[in-house]
Amino acid sequence: MWRGVGEHLSDLLTLSAFDLPGHGRGPAWDGTTDLHRACCDTALPYLTAPLHLIGHSFGATVALRLAVENPQMVRSLTLFEPVFFAALNETGQAHLATHITSAIPWTEAIERGDFALAARLFNRQWGDGTRWVDIPEKSQHYMTERVHMVPAQAPAIFDDNAGLLRSGAAERADMPVMLVRGARSLEVTGHINHALAERLPDAHEVTIEGAGHMAPVTHARESAEAIRSLVEMTEERVNLRGCH
């Protein structure tokens, strides 16, 4: 997923990407432990020095949590459409309710155990626009096997069980932050980005024209440019501080 972005940034960054629990060659998930915490625990060994942290979708909520809990280890933070719906619990409840209603078809399919239908409907809502019939059978099978993990994200992304929205918590992430979304993505992603931008001390929002939720894949160059602008700005600040 990150290969294209990495190639566009190869002159600037060394990109390290890892598989989340239950995905790819990542560690197995036992189906009972807190999935979000397990993802953070998988990421923690990579925080060996202050770095530029990048996340997408559910991964962006993991990146946000890492930045809040370990601000001294995050140089800058780029979040592509973090699906942190809890950010709308106070002032964006109407937008949240609209999204929950739109997700009913695939959430009910998961509840019925019809994972093939759930994966197809979930991909229609959150995918890169490729029709299900045009997705390779191996990829269809991969998504179908894992769609049951989506509800396991709810305690973190809907209920904020990590307490990222508690008073003073998000403010700990005081590094430069960029919240990115695709102009063609679901409307709710823009509301989430804006809600987070209002909480984080040094955040701004960027929109990639023509892109949807999967901007790092479909618009790798534009996504890399957004990351580059934040990284270069952050490094310039660091250098200026070092001169004083």
Q: pLDDT (tens digit, 0 to 9) for every residue of the chain, 244 residues total? A: 899 999 999 999 999 999 999 998 888 898 899 999 999 999 999 999 999 999 999 999 999 999 999 999 999 999 999 999 999 998 899 999 999 999 999 999 999 999 999 999 999 999 988 999 999 999 999 999 999 999 999 999 999 999 999 999 999 999 999 999 999 999 999 999 999 999 999 999 999 999 999 999 999 999 999 999 999 999 998 777 765 5
Q: Which strands sit side by side in the sheet containing 74-80, from one edge to the other?
A: 51-56, 74-80, 177-182, 203-208
> Residue 237: its pLDDT value, please?
86
User: Where does residue 22 fall: left (phi above 0), alpha (psi -120 to 50 degrees), or beta otherwise?
Assistant: left
106 found inside a domain: no
pTM, two decimals, is 0.94
126 found inside a domain: no
| CA dist 222 → 40, 45, 133, 165 (Å) | 27, 29, 28, 30
142 found inside a domain: no
147 found inside a domain: no
> Residue 242: its pLDDT value, please?
65
Q: Which domain holds residue 192?
A: 3-92+153-242
What is the sign, positive or negative, of the torsion defined by CA atoms of 23, 26, 30, 32? negative
Burial of 193 (0-12, 13-18, 19+ CB in 10 A): buried
77 found inside a domain: yes
130 found inside a domain: no
> Residue 156: its pLDDT value, please?
97
Burial of 35 (0-12, 13-18, 19+ CB in 10 A): buried
> Residue 8: its pLDDT value, please?
97
What is the helix (H) or strand (E) element at residue 206, kind and residue range? Answer: strand 203-208
133 found inside a domain: no
Q: 211 near 186, Cβ under 8 Å?
A: no
47 found inside a domain: yes
CATH number of the domain that residue 158 is part of:
3.40.50.1820
Cβ density class 134-146: b for 16+ within 10 Å, e for less: ebeeeebeebbee
Structural domains counted in the chain: 1
Residue 97: other Cβ atoms inside 10 A: 11
Residue 243: other Cβ atoms inside 10 A: 5
